[in-house]
Structure 1
């Protein structure tokens, strides 16, 4: 019975299956048999459902979660129903199923796809002039990721596919937003509009490598607006004077443009003009710099946490970039002051294709003083600067920049006597720099810059004597002339890449070659005798036969700016260098590491380590910059200087419009040079290796800064507590005991304020206070006899030990007094302080803007020491008296500027 029942059940199951298959097949035949002719434009899902139900008799079943993202457009004739449904829902996350006379709609069940990433790149430029903007910020609000434009205005950012909302911003420009769906690699070139809002001025900007949110520490961008507003000597705005107001920076001699940064010397600062090193940045013996503010686009100071692409100096990098030129309109600036006049012009050569920028500055003390000089004495001094740049755009992927700079100082003196005797001399010194840079975008992630440059610094001096004597029997004419010149010449090639492989990585790498041609000095003299018979005896002497020195410098670097999690960012890099001179090669491997940890929204901590090497030295003994200072390379005896710097800092931005920072550093230096006891340098590098000793140096300090970045009143106050000293081998300088560095200053305070009084009037002021540096002052006198021939190569000199000028030697024995000093830098100078005030009166005219500037340098006439010297008391010749010499009292000035 059970067996029959089982057979019967099996038969019923087979029969039921056959019936179901028949009905399913029949239903499918009926569905495919339904053909539709339908025309719809921008229809909603509801409208589409209604038309299908009316045409076919089918009914749709779906819930509220079923929505479409795009309007429905159809124009079909006699198309099967399944094909119509496939076309409508192919780009939607909706699936359908036919069941009898019902159409069931459901959300597609799909596995989550791997998110694809695409790169957005392009240039950010000024909307008026088309000039590229350096350090513009690009932020995506959806992913909270950002990037900045490089020194050529190019940016690249990689984001996941989908909705993107980029915000482009830059100081002084209106923020621009771009919202779109990112589905492929995209190029977006953005032109930002100038917002002309003076009430919000960022003093220290927050860019990729500078500011509180940057990974690097000790990096400060100096806005050109602030450079022009800082009151200075004779109303002459100066890049170096603005940098001196930053924490950790010393000015050296009061009023000079010298830079002593974190215990370093002036030759330890790498100063770049559009990527090319500048060896002499001084005008007027160091009281002004060669940089004309109207030609400058951006200035960035690095005093620690040096990016790996920089090398060759120990203390700082000052990266100066010049204006590219307006590609749309012609305009310029003309300015006249008590010291100089200058003009800047820029505009298109071919509109939106090629532009130019040219800036010329010249002083005219020689022209003003000439009418007041006596006939028998004539003196002349002037300096000039010429900056020129051409910017050509081949395409959005290829650009070419041609830059040139030429600057010179000239001094001459001539004395005519009544006895047909003429004596004269002259000095000329300056730089010539020519460079070509080619930007090329290989793809949206890889940007390249190729630079070829030529740099020539030359100092020449000449002296001549003309004497004519005559009597009844004979007339004799004697001419004597001497010429001296020195300098350094470079040819360089640099190849740099910016690569953005992932959103969390921004890689820079490159290589460079620099050929140095040092010319320490060549001195020639010429004597000519002319008699009545016009027989000329002409003899040339080579007093100094110092051969030219060639050196080769090769560098390579790589650095990665990386984001590790939401709170930690790192910049890790490596700089490699090789310096070959006089059959000796020096190699250096220099790691760089900096980190920023975001404790909270408004608090960040930073730490860094940097190793640097330096292969060139500046020989100098004077307290002010002199053109006789000579650049010399390392030798087989003199090793490269090296430094290790460690830094730690904290930053707070929790108060709107304010930024606060605290940085501490320790710098250890090796192979630093000092002159030996009793010797100095003045104009001759002969035997310089025997005049110096190599030793150790160390510097430590704490820098505090508070700055107001928004509103009508902006500015900052900074305080630096620092110490710097030197130590040499026992038996050498200072008998191996530590002694303070000559610009070791314990306390330094800078206060800078700018206030927009009205739309037409703005005020600015700066007050500085710093404790005195050190000097070596003789304590006792002794008598020395110089043997015959113990000359100083015909030159006098400034004593590095004693702080006074000594006369040149000769070839006869001399008896003179010398001074005995027990300890190097045994005297500390008095403190210095100074208030500078400036006011600008602005007025719009029909064709531009007129600006009157009135400034007071050293407003309350503080008699700060430029240098000190040893003297004796009027009442007691054995009593030593230290006297100071001041050359910069209260100096008023005015400047007229017209912008058109």
Structure 2
């Protein structure tokens, strides 16, 4: 029996050895993609005959993607778990899995610029995805990216709207700089794309922001065929115009001075031409436009309601090209190209109206009127190396209006000559120098020096010349009125990405403000018989320069924790003026949680402060509107905004969003009852009151982002009001804000038929704003002393709501390719069905005379004046045609 047992044991040992040798010699083909641990285990068990044993503490950090041929089980497991906290041991026909500490990985950083292959223009917001580890980033405002990943095999996928995806695979063994040039996909000419899901909308951490597509700006039908950035922004939810057809912005219940409009990072004080009919921005000069309505990143400050961040083209470093346009109102030309190929490029855009030239032949020789405006955008971009770049940018814009009149009377005994005139100029001058430098693969630096000047000058005067026989008398009066702002600024900004899950931005700036609210100087000269009787200069208004020093410091971190992402930051500011300091710490917080790949919810809290005010009583942008800073008596405006939103992208080519917001505003200004601004800042502090405001609303947006038909439908339900508890305004009671409009519906669509034809349509509906109307006025004539007394009865501030307004615009583009370029004809009709939308509203009077006979027999007379609201429509149905040659 013993001998039999020994033989059985010996056979078993030999069999086990043979089995182990067979298992070790077993070679398998295994291919899995994004497999869970359970899926991978089942596959290996099926192919190898092994069974797995492991506990609940064993888990994967990332799904397994593996493709091997003729590998042993041990080699397969080694490859599958090399980056996972999982160890293994083979025991006969079992595989034991256990949790193990990961070896410390070496991590390296990849960075570089992403540019257009044909022009070397940097691409803002290009996406970079590492395909093996499923992590990624995107380029900043200068086309620079940085991404830190473990050493080993790397697969980088670079993508951007309208460009082919480029994939780069290599073994990462050290910090590496990889400049990437993407190739434009010409096949997309007929397939318009307005959004990139990977970096915007549902996938972005922040909310209440929109990347405004340049294609949409160019194709949206506009007044006189003049594509306009600000009017396109007015079609987005939460944004409205003060006056139909004008380019002013009123965002989430805020005023026009509460918008921070940045041109390459420099604030623009006056963004309008032709009293607000057009904005100063030409689409050909722009590269990217982003609107922030809330959830402001910590790098932005100084305004309460919105930020419009405009980035201009850097210039083509490879070849020359441009456009030339001729319209009914303006002509413009855009040109860019290399100064030194692959090193230095320029970009220039010029626009000018020619109403003054066209009208000159039809004007009376004794009466001359003139008006024009122009814009000049210029930029030079020099590349020292892959790490260092330098930019010089310049903007000059001006509106000019003039009037002259000559009158002459001649008699036998005398002659009389009289002439008068007015010359009005206003506009912006902006110059900036910017240097970008990559300190290392994780730290990007930008230094900016800038000069910003807004100026308004008005000259008026008249001259009388009397000649009697041989005598002669001359009287001359001249007046010069001037207002403006000078800003000198320096700024340093850093982008630091220590880890793909952390993207830090921090920086500081200093602005030196010189406010010149008003200076008015007049000169009177009298001559008699060529002898000067009087020659005097008067200073009628001289408020003197008001100096302001503004310092700021900010930091923000965009943190990614799987489906949960947070952008947290703070903006510190200090404003010094007239010996008084105002300090503000403004926290910013935005959070996003992805319920699924197609559904996300977001929330935000933002605090903002503002140190400048715009003095104006008109709904139209007038050049006499004045910017003034806070003072010892007028405190900075401040706001707290809360927002909550939901986003859905489950339908291919569509994006849906809904946002609700609530905003409190503190120390907002309104004119006291009976006071107004009449082109003079004198004593303005005594005419205004500080109070509080609130704004709330819900915004819906459905956007078609790809295909031959693109566009959006936007609806806003909103309410905004003010309260001034000291009693000088509306007796201290709450009243609606003058631009409080309950319902706003905007429809904007573009359809491309083929490479030659496309059409754009926009339709706008708004409920009316509010105005203050005297409900009754009575003038009484007393016969005893022949005096009249009158009273107005105004029950409340902004007590009358204007009627609703609506408007339809249509534009058609036709393109024809030629040997040396493309001819483009645009035919647009503004206000197609001639809706009589009011641009201006004022009170008209109906006079009713009454009389009775008193018991004493004396007659008693009185006059009743009834107020009627009168509407004036400045922009009826207006067709236009524009020709553009693109070369």
Q: TM-score, normalised by structure 2?
A: 0.85
In structure 2, what is the equivalent of residue 378 of structure 1? 368
| Separation in 1, partners of 2:683, 2:184 | 58
* Partner residue of 1:579 out of 575, 600, 608: 575
Q: CA shift at 1:530, angstroms?
A: 2.4
Q: Deviations over 1:848-886 (max 9, x none)?
A: 111000000001100001122212337776332211111
Matched, 1:557 2:551: no
* 1:783 to 1:866, Cα distance in 2 relative to 1, 3 A: same
* 1:490 to 1:783, Cα distance in 2 relative to 1, 3 A: farther
* 1:678 to 1:815, Cα distance in 2 relative to 1, 3 A: farther
In structure 1, what is the equivalent of residue 874 of structure 2? 887
In structure 2, what is the equivalent of residue 369 of structure 1? 359
The answer to whether the 8 Å contact 1:204/1:220 transfers is no
In structure 1, what is the equivalent of residue 819 of structure 2? 846
The answer to whether the 8 Å contact 2:779/2:865 transfers is no
| Separation in 1, partners of 2:27, 2:364 | 100
The answer to whether the 8 Å contact 2:431/2:451 transfers is yes
* Partner residue of 1:643 out of 591, 615, 639: 639
Q: CA shift at 1:256, angstroms?
A: 0.4
The answer to whether the 8 Å contact 1:136/1:207 transfers is no
In structure 2, what is the equivalent of residue 476 of structure 1? 473
In structure 1, what is the equivalent of residue 18 of structure 2? none
| Separation in 2, partners of 1:141, 1:784 | 85
Which sits farther off after the overlay, 536-545 or 344-353?
536-545
* Structure 1 residues without counterparts, runs of 5 or longer: 1-60, 68-88, 94-108, 786-813
In structure 2, what is the equivalent of residue 663 of structure 1? 659
In structure 1, what is the equivalent of residue 90 of structure 2? none
Matched, 1:200 2:184: no
In structure 2, what is the equivalent of residue 415 of structure 1? 405
The answer to whether the 8 Å contact 1:708/1:716 transfers is yes
Matched, 1:684 2:680: yes
Matched, 1:318 2:308: yes
The answer to whether the 8 Å contact 2:777/2:866 transfers is no
| Separation in 1, partners of 2:420, 2:818 | 52
Q: 1:146-545, aligned counterparts within 5 Å?
A: 146-196=136-186, 197-206=188-197, 208=199, 210-419=200-409, 420-535=417-532, 537-545=534-542
Structure (1 or 2) with the larger CA radius of gyration: 1
The answer to whether the 8 Å contact 1:782/1:820 transfers is no
| Separation in 2, partners of 1:285, 1:860 | 25
Matched, 1:897 2:859: no
The answer to whether the 8 Å contact 2:777/2:865 transfers is no
Q: CA shift at 1:817, angstroms?
A: 5.9
Q: 1:463-862, aligned counterparts within 5 Å?
A: 463-535=460-532, 537-564=534-561, 566-781=562-777, 819-862=792-835
Which sits farther off after the overlay, 191-200 or 391-400?
191-200
2:193 counterpart SS class: coil
Q: Deviations over 1:384-409 (max 9, x none)?
A: 00011000000000000000000000
Q: CA shift at 1:509, angstroms?
A: 0.2
* 1:843 to 1:554, Cα distance in 2 relative to 1, 3 A: same
2:201 counterpart SS class: coil
Q: TM-score, normalised by structure 1?
A: 0.84
Which sits farther off after the overlay, 532-541 or 680-689?
532-541
* 1:820 to 1:459, Cα distance in 2 relative to 1, 3 A: farther
Q: Deviations over 1:511-568 (max 9, x none)?
A: 000000000000000011223234363210000121100000000000000012x210
Q: CA shift at 1:434, angstroms?
A: 0.2
Q: Deviations over 1:322-381 (max 9, x none)?
A: 100000001110001001000011000000000000110000111111111112211000
| Separation in 2, partners of 1:444, 1:130 | 21
Q: CA shift at 1:818, angstroms?
A: 6.5
Q: Deviations over 1:82-132 (max 9, x none)?
A: xxxxxxx9xx99xxxxxxxxxxxxxxx999532221111000001110010
2:685 counterpart SS class: helix
Q: Deviations over 1:451-506 (max 9, x none)?
A: 00000000010111011001124201111100100011100011000000112100
| Separation in 1, partners of 2:348, 2:723 | 48
The answer to whether the 8 Å contact 2:723/2:735 transfers is yes
Q: CA shift at 1:819, angstroms?
A: 3.5
| Separation in 1, partners of 2:719, 2:108 | 51
* Partner residue of 1:63 out of 17, 20, 25: 25
Q: CA shift at 1:412, angstroms?
A: 0.7
| Separation in 1, partners of 2:618, 2:524 | 32
| Separation in 1, partners of 2:579, 2:845 | 52
* 1:818 to 1:183, Cα distance in 2 relative to 1, 3 A: farther
The answer to whether the 8 Å contact 1:174/1:193 transfers is yes
1:622 counterpart SS class: coil
The answer to whether the 8 Å contact 1:777/1:869 transfers is no
Q: CA shift at 1:816, angstroms?
A: 8.9
Which sits farther off after the overlay, 856-865 or 178-187?
178-187
2:25 counterpart SS class: coil
In structure 1, what is the equivalent of residue 414 of structure 2? none
The answer to whether the 8 Å contact 1:121/1:155 transfers is yes
Q: CA shift at 1:179, angstroms?
A: 1.6
| Separation in 2, partners of 1:774, 1:145 | 51
| Separation in 2, partners of 1:838, 1:881 | 37
The answer to whether the 8 Å contact 2:193/2:707 transfers is no
Q: CA shift at 1:190, angstroms?
A: 0.8
Q: Deviations over 1:746-772 (max 9, x none)?
A: 000010110011220001100010100
* 1:783 to 1:400, Cα distance in 2 relative to 1, 3 A: farther
Q: CA shift at 1:203, angstroms?
A: 2.6
Q: CA shift at 1:142, angstroms?
A: 1.6
Q: Deviations over 1:243-268 (max 9, x none)?
A: 00100001110100000000000000
Report how many aligned residue pairs link the two structures: 774
1:212 counterpart SS class: helix
* 1:581 to 1:62, Cα distance in 2 relative to 1, 3 A: same
| Separation in 1, partners of 2:331, 2:612 | 35
1:889 counterpart SS class: coil
The answer to whether the 8 Å contact 2:190/2:754 transfers is no
| Separation in 1, partners of 2:333, 2:737 | 41
The answer to whether the 8 Å contact 2:223/2:878 transfers is yes
In structure 1, what is the equivalent of residue 72 of structure 2? none
Q: Deviations over 1:43-72 (max 9, x none)?
A: xxxxxxxxxxxxxxxxxx9835699xxxxx
Q: CA shift at 1:165, angstroms?
A: 1.3
Which sits farther off after the overlay, 370-379 or 623-632?
370-379
Q: Deviations over 1:583-625 (max 9, x none)?
A: 0000000000000000011100000000000000000001100
Q: Which has the larger strand fraction?
A: 2
